[in-house]
Amino acid sequence: MKFALTRRFGFLANEVGRLYSQQFDRLAREQLGLSQAQCRLLAVLAAHAGPQALSQTELAGRMGLTPMAVAGLCDRMAAAGWIERRPSASDRRINELHILPRARKALDRALAIGDELSSASLAALSAAEREQLLALLAKARHGLLSLQAEEGVA
């Protein structure tokens, strides 16, 4: 059937992502007072291992958001005491972003929320099926990243 969307990769990938995101956002707001986007911002900052802290522009690039969207998100996160902006030692036009200790604790809980949600959503799968699903999704991701590289898209 031409319009059997539930048998099409793009539809299923987007639908699963949308449903997962809605559930995660609801749970994170209820349990942490943070949105999914705020949790993601904290995760990107925590995962950064470079010698210098990330700037808002670098963070926007890593999150796939506009610098303006990240600026607003950072404003709210800094005002709430989750992150701190510090002037760059090398360029005073740049603010470097630092994750604060209470945000690291919240991020640990956000990861646990994600693990619990994944377990619940994949409960009908065996352990082997879960591993296979993740491996197949990783291959699909790799294929899409390869297409972007070929097209010169970052």
129-142 residue pLDDT tens: 999 999 999 999 99
pTM score above 0.75: yes
Place 1 in a pLDDT band, splitting at 50, 70 and 90.
low
pLDDT at 48: 93
* pLDDT tens per residue, range 14-50: 999 999 999 999 999 999 999 999 999 999 999 998 8
User: CATH classification of 8-121, choosing from 3.40.50.720, 1.10.10.10, 3.30.420.130, 2.40.50.100?
Assistant: 1.10.10.10
- What percentage of the chain reaches a pLDDT higher than 70? 97
**If you average pLDDT over every residue of the chain, what do you get?**
93
pLDDT confidence of residue 153: 67
Which of these, 8, 13, 37, 36, lies nearest to 144 by C-alpha position?
Answer: 13
Closest alpha carbon to 32 in 104, 122, 120, 115: 104
Give, in degrees to the nearest 5, the angle at Cα 136 between 132 and 139: 145
Of 101, 143, 141, 137, nearest to 118 by C-alpha is 137
**Exposure class string for 84-95: b at 16+ Cβ within 10 A, else e:** ebeeeeeeeebb
63 vs 92, residue with greater confidence: 63
Q: Look at residues 54, 140, 135 and name the one whose alpha carbon lies nearest to residue 98.
A: 54
Residue 10: predicted pLDDT: 92
